[in-house]
Amino acid sequence: NAGVTQTPKFRVLKTGQSMTLLCAQDMNHEYMYWYRQDPGMGLRLIHYSVGEGTTAKGEVPDGYNVSRLKKQNFLLGLESAAPSQTSVYFCASSRIWTGGFNTGELFFGEGSRLTVL
């Protein structure tokens, strides 16, 4: 059972370079999310998607773009990386939306550690 798979797991970039993180889920979930995790800050939502072809901004969207062309994939792009984007990035998916009384369980990938020099 693969669940949520993220690639790559590690990446080092120079300031100004671009890259794409790929997230794939095999649970047929409608909802997908990208979070970043920084020490003492918890997980902060970057962008999310409520279904194929849809994307929306989260709490910290600046400097990132996303696409969800296929239901099972959610891509996170950095067009011009900055040192402030050094972080661990987590993709998650859920069957039920993370809102309301029936908050859905989030299934996370193993994370992608990005360092921007």
Partner 1 sequence: TQLLEQSPQFLSIQEGENLTVYCNSSSVFSSLQWYRQEPGEGPVLLVTVVTGGEVKKLKRLTFQFGDARKDSSLHITAAQPGDTGLYLCAGENYGQNFVFGPGTRLSVLP
Give the separation between CA 28 and CA 14, rounded to whole angstroms: 35
Number of helices (H), then strands (E), belonging to the chain: the values are 0, 11
Which pair of structure tokens corresponds to residue 11?
């990446």
Nearer to partner 1 (CB atom), residue 1 or residue 69: 1
111 near partner 1, judged by CB under 8 A: yes
Q: Interface residues for partner 1 in 60-89 (CB under 8 A)?
A: none
Which pair of structure tokens corresponds to residue 15?
């300031």
Nearer to partner 1 (CB atom), residue 5 or residue 17: 5
5 near partner 1, judged by CB under 8 A: no
Q: Looking at 15-23, 68-76, 77-85, 105-113, which segment touches partner 1 (CB under 8 A)?
A: 105-113
Q: Judging by DSSP bridges, how do beta strands 10-13 and 112-116 pair with one another?
A: parallel
| Helical segments of the chain, H only | none
Interface residues with partner 1 (CB under 8 A) are 4, 35, 40-45, 59, 90, 92, 98-103, 105-106, 108-111
